[in-house]
Amino acid sequence: MSASDYKPGISGIFDGEQTLTKTFNEAVDKQKDIKDHTYLWSASPNIGITTKENAPDFDVDAPKDSLAWGWQYGIDAETCNIDTNLFDSRLLDVLWSS
């Protein structure tokens, strides 16, 4: 993957009890570069739907020192079926740079 123009990423629930978190950490133990070059978008913690005005501070659950730059913190809004997300602005450069 390192020879590709694309950046690897994983979207999922990265709290400490999830198999995804344990598997990611095991992979990093075997090959440190995975943590340094894989972007994470976590759906944990799920604190619920908010408005833009009362959005939380960016506090995503993910492996320590990982590139967890996306956080889906609320899902399945009843009024408008959308999810609420926050992103570290550096992710924009990764996803949409040429």
Which tens digit of pLDDT belongs to each residue from 69-91?
999 998 877 777 788 899 999 98
User: Any idea which fold 9-96 has?
Assistant: TIM Barrel (3.20.20)
Round to whole Å and give the CA distance between 47 and 69. 17
Strand pairing report for 67-74 and 84-87: antiparallel
pLDDT digits (tens, 9 = 90+) for 25-34: 999 999 999 9
Q: What is the pLDDT of residues 52-71, one digit of tens each?
A: 898 999 999 999 999 999 99
pTM for the whole structure: 0.86
Q: C-alpha angle 44/14/30, rounded to 5°?
A: 165
> What are the residue boundaries of the structural domains of the chain, listed by start?
9-96
